Amino acid sequence: MFLIRLFQFLKGYVIIELYGGERERFLSICAARGIYTGRVEVSDTAFRIRLSLSDFLGLRDVFRKTRLKSRIVKRCGLPFMRKRFRKRWVFLAGAVFFAAFIGVMSSFVWTVEIEGELNVPEEEILSACRRAGIYPGARKSELAPLGELKEIILSEVGELTWAWVNLEGVRARVEVRERTIPGEVIDKSQPCRIGAACDGLIRSVTVKNGEAAVKPGDAVLAGETLISPYRSLGTDDMGNPVYSDKPVHALGEVRAVTWHVQSGEYPLYHTSRLRTGEKKTRYSLELFSKTVPLYIGGTGFEEYETKERRYELSAGGNFLGIAVVREEIEEVVVNCEELSYEAAVQLAKYDLEEKISAELMPGAILENEQLRTEETADGMIRVTLEMQFEQSIGVELQA
């Protein structure tokens, strides 16, 4: 059925309605001549069929014999499209130009997105990507292999322990991981090592299986091996250490002192934002990292909140660089209340403590903290919180 319809589309076909005359005789003649009529739709006064263009032109004598009157309902297929576009050559030329334009522009990177950063500023990672050759307008064919791009980004940003670049059409998605290493769920029958989840100064090492790779007083970096899966077998005749060939599932606890610093600027007042219920919606068009507003004028609100939704044009899961952005803008009223210096510092400390808590392992014990404050211009204060913890930093990692 598909091949028949494809063949009819290439040759062109018409959908016609036939009135009066001898309908049954007409259909019998078509069947005898091997003419495909499609699904016959019958009503009280007429019936509708589908005929190829050549069959329709060749059945005029049959219309006369069966005394049927015909009316073309619809013309379909390539011949009619060619005729239609011959009159609209500007539209056809525009479609061809647009397809060629998309093909050429798809050979460049137009959007760079960073995923996974927590404390490292996104601008710092984007700068490293630019030095690696990943930036809006970069030609994809001139990019270094993905493995080399990863090494360049890691060498530029020391706080990162892992990075990878994924090319999705004209979008480059850069995934990164910081120096706080999450543990993995590893089956107890599988070999693994105990690695450092973050930087620290070793305080104690308790080994249940495997071999200690560090000792109290050692400084370690995130990801460094703390307990090796290879057991020590002593030394050889030359005094060199000898280890077992078969790795084990390392077990143990490594406690270390870790230091965490967070800072920020905070106002000496508290603001609350109340929605009024007034809303506006506007659209904009993104073309290969350029934004074209599809609206005139501003929002008309002094203060507002925006919810954004993107509708991206993609093919095969690859972003083609064209998107429509819908913004829903809601008016808000801002109320400001003055805070005492002590209250502002306390609120800032709560915020900084929450940021530091995201860096800690379960069961961390606070040993020391130091809070520094200074007033800045425009009714702001800069608050810096330094905290020292003892915590278990060992996590199971692949051997």
- Are the C-beta atoms of 38 and 27 separated by less than 8 Å? no
Q: What is the pTM of this model?
A: 0.50
**Pair of tokens at residue 15:** 């959908």
Report pLDDT for 260: 93
Report pLDDT for 389: 96
Report pLDDT for 23: 74
**Pair of tokens at residue 375:** 């007033």
Helix/strand/coil for 246: coil
**What contacts 24+ positions apart, CB below 8 Å, involve 110-113?**
110/136, 110/137, 110/170, 110/171, 110/288, 110/289, 110/321, 111/136, 111/170, 111/171, 111/172, 111/289, 111/319, 111/321, 112/136, 112/171, 112/172, 112/174, 113/171, 113/172, 113/173, 113/174
For 120-188, give the DSSP string: S-HHHHHHHHHHTT-STTEEGGGSPPHHHHHHHHHHH-TTEEEEEEEEEBTEEEEEEEESSPPP----T
Report H helices in 17-121.
23-32, 53-58, 60-65, 78-87, 89-105
In which residue ranges of the chain is pLDDT below 50? none
Report pLDDT for 149: 86
- Are the C-beta atoms of 59 and 33 separated by less than 8 Å? no
Helix (H) or strand (E) holding 367: strand 365-376
Report pLDDT for 90: 67
Report pLDDT for 269: 85
Report pLDDT for 227: 93
Report pLDDT for 200: 94
Cα atoms found within 13 Å of the Cα of residue 354, Cβ hemisphere only:
7
**Cα–Cα distance measured from residue 160 to residue 146, given in angstroms and rounded to the nearest whole number:** 17
